[in-house]
Structures are given as structure tokens and as C-alpha cells.
Chain A
Amino acid sequence: MITDSMYQELILEHYKHPQGKGLREPYDAEVHHVNPTCGDEITLRVKVGEGGKVEDVSYEGQGCSISQAAASVLHELATGSTVEETLAVVEEFTRLMQGRGQVQPNEDVLGDAVAFAGVAKFPARVKCALLSWMAYKDAVVRSVGA
């Protein structure tokens, strides 16, 4: 069945045990993004330190397993990397999600986020996976600009 490829064990694990959840201080920028069609929402904070290093991505939100797990994976991937590196991951993740299941993901860039490849076949769920990542992109642009 199709959902078996969508609800990967890794996604379910992140949903049940979200990493880095909760809003923390200090932060440079905070954003609030919503998905009006399904009501999913996320508040996300970013702290960028010396040398453009992402020191923390903290978040609070509600939504389906895909949107919550995506935020958790994002936290793991982004924290400790440079802004430049994380934006490359966001770009690759977006390319994968918008590829209608036809895109071959670059695992070296995506790491655990490759588990979301199955979501790309469900246009209605792509927005769920992208919610926190778009929020992150928005927040990081604001923190670097600040």
C-alpha cells in the first residue's frame, strides 16, 4: 500500500518523539506560519551565532504527523550547521517535495529528510512537509538580515 512508503518508521519516530520541540531563548527571529487549508501551524525561532552557525532552531506547533516530524528533522539537520549549508538542504528538500515523486533525492545533502520522499506523491500532503521548512527559511533570512 502507498501509505506504507509515506509513513516511514523514521517519520513516525520523530512524530512520537519530536526533537528540539519548545520555544527557547535567545533567538534572532521568530516567525509564525499556517497552512490555511488544514489548520496546521508552527511558530519557529532561529538563533544564528558566530561565523553564520545556526545555534538553535526551536519551534512549537500543531498538525499532522508529516508536518510535526518534518519540524523535528529540520531541527536536527539545521542545528550546528552553517546558514549556507542549511539553505542548501532546504533547497534540496523543496525540490524533492515538489517533484511529484519523480525526483531522485540527493541523500548526501538530505540525510534523514530523505524519509519524506514518499510524501511527494501526495500533492495534498506536500504542504504539510514544507510548512516548517518554509518557516525556517523565512526566519533565517530575517535573522541574518537583523
Chain B
Amino acid sequence: MAGLRSEGARDELPRDEGSRRLAGAPSRARGASPIDTEKVREDFPVLSRELPGGRPLVYLDSGNSSQKPFQVIDTMREHLARHYGNVGRAMHVLGSESTEAYEAARDKVAAFIGAPSRDEVIFTKNASEALNLVAYSFGNPAADDPRFRLGPGDEIVISEMEHHSNIVPWQMLVQRTGATLKWFGVTDEGRLDLADGVITERTKIVSIAHQSNVLGTVNPVAEVVALARRAGALVMLDASQSVPHHPVNVAELGADFIAFTGHKMVGPSGIGVLWGRRELLEAMPPFLGGGEMIEAVWMDHSTYAPVPHKFEAGTPPIVEAIGLGAAVDYLNGVGMEAVEAHERALTAYALEALKEVPSLRIIGPQSPEGRGATLSFTLEGIHPHDVGQILDDRFGIAVRVGHHCARPLHLRFGIPATTRASLYLYNTTGEIDALVRGLHHVQKVFA
């Protein structure tokens, strides 16, 4: 890839002339990362672009959406340019090439998450759709399986640290059915508070984040599953923030459903995944009706295709699914253990580094154990929108500011918003240093 610059460009970041160099920075422990970040960064064309004014890009917003390697970009371009046809129905060369690539992507995703069967991988347009699909399976008169019957007196359990996409579909479900929504609280340290009495024998499903998109907290899935099993409830995990960053094996997790999305795992947007245990997926009613989800149609009724196609009505996001397959190949090439270890080292480094910023308060676990590389914080007296604006505009540092689609969690901590840096396999300790320098400058502006 000619014209790409290495991460060394970071050293040329504009420094605020007036701010002191951080005395501790050069000697800060760098931890052991198994990833050759310089090499990885060469795969992501956008990381070497310059922003207006000659600023290099410091991309710390992967929890929002990740950047894409050329392997994904080229796979999608190649498919569009040379193979594209509709899947599952076209009887010509292009159609069969597209179908083959689309279904191969399903195989890759299934292997990536350790799914016992490829048919348990449903392509959706994003994680939200996957969560809604499961929510709409409950209390639906078209389903006769007692596990999906839901009405007044039945309960659904979520948590206070959920993304809106794992709150709102369940609120809508209880509005439709008269069931009750309950939730686990969050401790001051940002851990799930697994209080007694939240899950009861009336609980039909427990749906929680595997890893919080704000706190970074990795939740104790085994404990939650054990509590749910005792009550006879199903378990769903919003794995949007875990599958991209850790080795995830659904058989070992023990949950019944997981949802995640392509764009947070170096793949394209417009493609998400629902994994579910086959026997449950077969018991569930279809979600959307339409082309290719049927077996046979009469004017007054239809029969449905077997899973996974029962849940994939209409022409799916074909090239996006193929792009997700390429993303899985890419992550496998680096190795998910390596990605996880790299992020653990970066998180330890970042937690230390951020301590140097006066009045900075981390919202979430303060130590790298049991958490991922998502760091949300507040600066006393400075609104996150001002923090984000100055970081971006002056230093090219992209963070997310606001409530990150987790407003109840922010209410829990009594704050309207946070600034969030979320790291990935291509981030470096140098970029964390840049963030710390940027935050010192922000404080100077508002001093």
C-alpha cells in the first residue's frame, strides 16, 4: 500500500506550546502487547489520512464504530465489481457466486463465535434488529412454545448499564403484553449489582450487555446464566462490545442468544448477527415476512423456510455480509487472543495515564481486571461536548461525547454526559499520550 505512513507520525502531533511535558509519560509502563501495531495500522487506510489543517487522525471512537482494513474494503469492492447477484434465488453464475460468498460468510461468523451449527447464525441489519427480533418472539400469538408466552405477571430482566437498544425493545414488549420490566442496578464501581430477587420464577428472559459500551465492564455471564437457569428463564447477551474485542465462544458462554454488529468489528455497517440456539430459533415465530423466508405461500397462509432463512426476509445486505466475513478473516489473522491482550495492555496504560489529568473521574472500573478498553470520564466543570470539540478541532482526536445511548446509566451516576475513549487493535500508547496532552489543553482553555 504505497503512500501509507506509519504510526511514527503521531510524534508530530501539534503540542500546545504552553503546556508542560508530562514528566511521567516516557517512563510509563507500556505492558506487553503481542500486536505489531505499526503493521496493523498499515492495513487501515484512514488511519494515515490527514485532517484539515495538517492534523493527523487519532481515532479513539471504535466503540462507536471501528475503522476498516483494506482487506474488507477490497473484498467488498471486488464482489460488487465482479460477482454481484441476488442470493438464494438467482439461477445464474453471478447469483450462485454471490450465494456461495454470502453463505461462506455465515460459515466464517459461525466458526468465529464457536456456534455449534451454521444455521444458528442469522444475518440482521445490526445488533438492534437482532435484539428486536428476539423481543418480538415473546407474547406473539403465532408462537405456541410456552417459553415465549408472555403476559401480565411475567417478567423481563435487563440492567441499568444497557445501551438503549437493549432497553427500548423490552419496554415496547411490556407495553404490548402487560408483562413487567425489571433490572439489575449498577454499583458505584460500575459493576453489575446482582441483587437477590430481581430474577424470579416469573422471569422469562434476562437480557444484559456482555461488555458495557460506557463503563467497559465485562459482566459475569456464568453467574447470570446460573441465576436465570434456576428460574427457568432464557438469557440474551448484547455482545456488540465483546465479540469485536475478545475471543467469544457461545457454547462456553451458555447464553441462549447473542447479538452483535459488523461495523464495530472492522466490518461494514448494515450487517448484524443474531446467534441463537437452534431449537429455540425453530420454536420462534418469524419476525419479518417476505421473500425467501418462506417454504410455500397460498393466498390465505404460508409455511416458512427452515432457520436461518426463516428470519432473513427480503434481499439481505449481501455485500455487507461478505464484508463481515472478510472482517472475521482479518481478525482471525491477527488472532483474537492477541487483540484481547493488546487491549488489556492499552487499558492498563490508559488508566494510569488518565490519572495524571487533574479532576478527571473515570466512570467504570478503575483497574484493568474484568473490563475492556472503553474509558468514559468526566472533567470537573467542563462539559463533554466542549472536551470533544477541542480534542477534535485542535488535535484531531476523535472521541465520543454524550450519553452514548445509555442515558439511564448516566442518570444513575448523576451526570448528563461523559467523554469516551474506546480503543481497538490499531490504537497505540502514543495515541493515549496524545489524549492526555489534549485533555491538559482543554483544561487550560477553561481554567
Contacts and interface: CB of A to CB of B under 8 A. Distances in A.
Interface in B356-393: 382-386, 389-390, 393
Interface residues of B, number: 18
A125 B445 contact: no
Contact of B446 (A38, A65, A66): A65
Contact of B407 (A2, A39, A128): A39
Contacts of A125: 385, 389
Contact of A64 (B385, B393, B394): B385
B385 A3 contact: no
B66 to A, nearest CB: 22
Interface string A8-41: 0000100110000000000000000000011110
A40 B383 CA distance: 10
A39 B403 contact: yes
Given A39-B402, A125-B385, A62 B446 contact: no
Nearest to B403: A39
Contact of A38 (B53, B382, B385, B445): B385
Nearest to B383: A64
Nearest to B55: A1
Contacts, number: 47
B383 A3 contact: no
A40 B417 CA distance: 9
B416 interface: yes
Given A39-B403, A65-B383, A7 B417 contact: no
B416 A39 contact: yes
B403 A1 contact: no
Contacts of B383: 63-65
A3 B402 contact: no
A6 interface: yes
A41 to B, nearest CB: 8
Contact of B445 (A7, A40, A66, A122): A7
Contacts of B402: 37-39
Given A12-B445, A64-B385, A38 B393 contact: no
Given A39-B407, A65-B383, A3 B390 contact: yes
The 4 closest A-B pairs by CB, nearest first: A64-B383, A3-B393, A64-B385, A39-B416
